[in-house]
Amino acid sequence: MERTGLIDVEELVELVRNYNPRTNADLIRKAYAYGRQMHQGQIRKSGEEYFTHPVAVAAILTEQRLDDATIITALLHDTIEDTKSTYSEVERLFGEEIAELVDGVTKLTNLQLSSTETQQSENFRKLFMAMSKDLRVILVKLADRLHNMRTLKWQQPEKQVKKARETMDIYAPLAGRMGMQWMREELEDLSFKVLNPEARASIIRRFITLQRETGEVIPKITADIRTELDKAGIEADVYGRAKKPYSIWRKMQEKQLAFSRLSDIYGFRIICRTEADCYRILGVIHQRWRAVPGRFKDYISQPKSNGYRSIHTTVSGRDGKRVEVQIRTRQMHEVAEAGVAAHWSYREGVRVQNPFAVDPARWVTTVTERFDEGGDHDEFLENVKLEMYSDQVFCFTPKGEVVQLPKGATPIDFAYAIHTRIGDACVGAKVDGIRVPLWTRLKNGQSVDIITAAGQRPQATWIDIVVTGRAKAAIRRSLREENRERFIKLGHELARVAFEHVGKKATDKALRTAAKVLGLTDETEVLARIGSAELSASEVIRAIYPDLAAQVGEEVATDRAVAGLAADQSFRRANCCQPLPGERIVGITYRGQGVVVHAIDCPALAELEDQPQRWVDLHWHTGRHAPVNNVTLDLTIANGSGVLGRVCTIIGEQKANIADLTFADRKPDFYRLLVEVELRDIEHLHNLLKVLEAESDVAQVERVRDLSRKP
């Protein structure tokens, strides 16, 4: 069994002393002893004593040279939550500052950020409130999540997937938004390893093959860069690295490129002494290698809101291979590595006065200042996620004022960033003096002039054009107001029918009660949202009559689609037979994988006839299932113009999503495809097969059951 072991208290103190000789070593020792005592007897899934985890979290934070209070908080961060320790005791022993930090981390731990329930948006709000109070709370939480992800292999598979998804969706982008790019990359890659191990392994294999074919590219290019800098008499350090598997995978998906066509999979970093040297180095690089157009970004003159400063350029290096080069000073590099955490960094016992470190309070304000304008929790949540995931572009007003927007923003986003009134009245835009369509994606450094007209109102199509949460919220609000009366009438009728279906009446009092539960202003707001399809009548009924909600015809939850499991058992559908709701099924227990559901006629079951103790009697829950069940179809179609498009359209018209499509065989007159579709149930499959068989250009279609795929 692999063990990392417990870091000794003196080792931890030494890690802190390396950057802070004036550390309060006795207080760290006291916290170490107290934490170990509180966690006495607790064991991690790996078999190690639990206290190895808080100590490892503290060690991660020493890499960012953080202050004593943060290190001690890491040592104690699980005491209030998981032991008999209390806030008052921590405050008595370690002071109010540390007690507040430990309490803040405890509250974050209790937030179900990955929840699909309505409280998710409210929990996000609490997360950002905790951050605005003291950002060190989220630094401890991120280090906590990083260590948990590094040791995730000891958890049950379903727990691994849940944690990895939450990390990929929330904690990794949050780390990136805070400027801690190294942490973002590691969190993403650890999550990628769990969520898509085949893709990650495939990229690593291709990388090894590439290295075998081209040799060690990184040392060669690093040496070339150093040679050019020596010629110019510039003193700088040069580092090269291959990009992380998830970073490569994301780029492949975004650009729809195969690995062999992906160019910039290597990154190089040049760290110099002064800002002037940064621009001198840029000149040296561009004189020696050809710059790739459109791939230059100057974050020194236009820094990111989290304090990030650097020059980025991409050039064609050896053998025409593209490489990305980042140029920055040592101080800029410290902020690039630590992000907003640089505000607390210590060196030689004193806080580092880094001129590039962003004041955390100001940073949180820039992230959250517009969130409340959305008006409700769902819009707040959308704004949070858009803000966390966005890379930035900087554009200018005609007067030269800078407007910061997410990558992919349009002139409509720009208009709303100036003022809601400007956005609502927008009819056109000029970019660098030239009239452009409103869906144009803005680029760094462009000057944007918004053309407005009195009486203009936002168009419904704008929702799909804009990318900022502010613009989306304003457009939805305007559309709601414009169509409010119509939506209220329609919502009243939909509510009446739904309530009558469960033997109730949609009275004003009932709707007022629903509004209170759902966090809306009044009954008319409930009706307006039902009419605009932002809220379903079944959700309203569930809010006040949860026991009757099932009668409205809502979908069966995917995590309880199967009946007959024990309370602690999870399930998944077998890959070999891909059973669908409506088919007879049986469960087979697999160690560490829960119960795998097979169709009763699956040939794979023949090998298990002599192991009856592993068989579980199961059946599908009655009701309408969600269209999330993958089934593979073997489809032979004519090789003609537009045939594939027509077939895809037919599948879409049947409300079936295409999850994957592979060409199995290509002939001059026919193509054979393997199409993976997502369906509700067996009836949904039969209907789809029927309409495909009726299509004249479809020669053959059948469901695939493949025993070569693991159950």
Phi, psi of 571, deg, nearest 5: -140, 160
Contact criterion met (CB below 8 Å) for 541 and 591:
no
Distance CA(13)–CA(19), nearest Å, equals 11
3-state SS assignment for residue 638 = strand
Contact criterion met (CB below 8 Å) for 400 and 392:
no
Residue 82 is a catalytic residue: yes
Alpha helices in 468-522 (DSSP H): 469-482, 484-501, 508-518
Residue tagged active-site, from 49, 63, 81, 97: 81
- Residue 395: both structure tokens together: 């554009």
Distance CA(316)–CA(120), nearest Å, equals 45
Residue tagged active-site, from 8, 11, 67, 82: 82
Phi, psi of 577, deg, nearest 5: -115, -10
Helix 25-38 crosses helix 87-94 at what angle (to 10 degrees)? 160
User: Please, which residues have CB within 8 angstroms of residue 434's CB and are 6 or more apart in sequence?
Assistant: none
Contact criterion met (CB below 8 Å) for 396 and 447:
yes
- Within 10 angstroms of residue 299's Cβ, the number of other Cβ atoms is 20
Contact criterion met (CB below 8 Å) for 562 and 618:
yes
Helix, strand, coil shares, percent, the chain, to 5 = 50, 20, 30
Distance CA(687)–CA(701), nearest Å, equals 13
Beta strand 448-452 with 426-431: parallel, antiparallel or unpaired? antiparallel
Residue 81 is a catalytic residue: yes
Scanning the structure block, which residue is given the tokens 């104690």?
76
Contact criterion met (CB below 8 Å) for 104 and 76:
no
Give, for 611, the enclosing helix (H) or strand (E): none
Q: Using H for helix, E for strand and C for coil, what is the string for 518-578?
A: HCCCCHHHHHHHHHCCCCCHHHHHHHHCCCCHHHHCCEECHHHCEECCCCCCCEEECCCCC
- Residue 668: both structure tokens together: 């001059």
DSSP at 355? T
Contact criterion met (CB below 8 Å) for 402 and 426:
no
The residues that bridge with 433 in the sheet, in sequence order, are none
* Active site members: 81-82
